[in-house]
Amino acid sequence: MIRRRLRLFIHKRPSTAATRSREVYFSQLRDASTNCHAYEEAFGEKLRALGERTRPRDLYDVVNLYRHTDSRPTAAVLLDVLRQKCAYKAIPVPTLQTLVPHRPALEAMWSDQLSHQVPVLPPLNDFWDALPEIFNWMTSGAPIPQRALIQRGLGETPVRTRVLPMNIPLRSRSNLEIIRFAAANYASVISLGRVLSFG
């Protein structure tokens, strides 16, 4: 018998955004749901953490939260949440200019803190270079640049969910996860002499 645990953490920190009910994907809890932070709450918290402690995982998360366009809140909502979080902690709202002096420390910690958590760690520049766009969008409401879309071929079905469908053979799943990871991080996959680039 395989035993699995589900950990629930309870924090007393005030929430600035509404919680949302989400389904729980855990084999022992069928048809269960729980309240969780709204996307803008998690995004605002990560931005606050990036400004306060400037750790590689915060930069990685901020950029990935921004890149998930299907869930991204409006710039005004995110900025409001961030301002409330910073006011609660009595710290200034982070800006690109306040982060620049921390870049060398981020570079020194990048591989040590992240390489064991992802299949392939993209270079720091892939994330650092996204910050001007993020802060410009958040503070000015500037339109988000549109990325080139990869056109699907005849008979291909895009997989847009974060959970792979059960009809995908097990032997193909690990390769698909590598490709999905690369696409989410605007990276490349080199396989059988072909280079697939995303972003």
pLDDT in tens, the chain (199 residues): 455 565 655 555 555 555 555 554 555 555 555 666 788 998 999 999 999 999 999 999 999 899 887 788 899 999 999 999 999 999 999 999 999 999 999 999 999 999 888 777 889 999 999 999 999 999 998 887 776 666 667 776 665 565 666 666 666 666 666 666 666 655 554 444 444 444 4
Structural tokens at position 109: 């910690």
Please calculate the CA angle 52-91-18 and round it to the nearest 5 degrees.
85
Closest by CA to 69, choosing from 146, 121, 158, 157, is: 146
Q: In whole angstroms, how far apart are CA 160 and each of 51, 70, 165, 180?
A: 31, 10, 10, 10
146: left (phi over 0), alpha (psi -120 to 50) or beta: beta
Kindly report the pTM of this predicted structure: 0.66
Closest by CA to 122, choosing from 77, 188, 170, 173, is: 188
